[in-house]
Chains A and B, each alone.
Chain A
């Protein structure tokens, strides 16, 4: 079964600076989707960014970008110009396109933003 690992339980960043959250995954599939979800204190799960495995170009959404390394099975999230509102739990997720489209989530990284 696929596994998703987030090795950083908690991280801190100064407001306006850049931070990178790490995610690795294990799979034997060649095509899949990867996601980053944000969960602020309200506990709502919010989609931040997604990446199709067949695309070599890294996805970007405003201040959020990913570094997708398919061979290394690595999918990190970079947040530029960090804002106080970025403080949240961030979950990395893998979507299988073969195994009944199941989603697999990492354990999360808590991001603190210091003013």
Chain B
């Protein structure tokens, strides 16, 4: 158990719908990362937050958005869903954003999204 929690575990929805994925980082971790993993593929970095602020953006579609709240949990919002959005969405957390910090990323169990 990494200490990172994600809800829900599974989500099945229809095209055109909107969903929200939730992540709670490990206790004390300030940074949250979101990744998308399509079937049999590698991890695609989506976005990173540190202490409530967006710090880095990767291959995140405009239909997707995220935020990190004062209690440090994060939500990833996916809208106007398409079949190709079906994937495993991981959240990971780490301790510090600051350059020179020697921390590791710990992953949650993921949310499996199926768009029908």
Contact = CB atoms under 8 A, between A and B. Distances in A.
Interface of A: 33, 35, 37, 43-47, 50, 52, 91, 93, 95, 97-108
Interface string B1-29: 01000000000000000000000000000
Interface string B25-56: 00000010100010001110100100000011
Given A44-B109, A50-B104, A105 B48 contact: no
Contacts of B74: none
A11 to B, nearest CB: 16
A79 to B, nearest CB: 20
Given A91-B43, A100-B56, A45 B90 contact: yes
Contacts of A102: 45, 48, 56, 58
A19 to B, nearest CB: 20
Contact of A100 (B55, B88, B109): B55
B64 interface: no
Contacts of A45: 90, 92, 107, 110
Contact of A101 (B58, B97, B106): B97
Interface string B84-116: 000010101010010111101111011010000
B23 to A, nearest CB: 13
Given A47-B104, A97-B99, A103 B110 contact: no
A101 B31 contact: yes
Given A100-B55, A101-B31, A107-B42, A43 B97 contact: no
Contacts of B106: 47
A33 to B, nearest CB: 7
Contacts of B90: 45
Given A100-B55, A102-B48, 7 more contacts: A33-B104, A44-B110, A45-B110, A97-B101, A101-B97, A103-B92, A104-B45
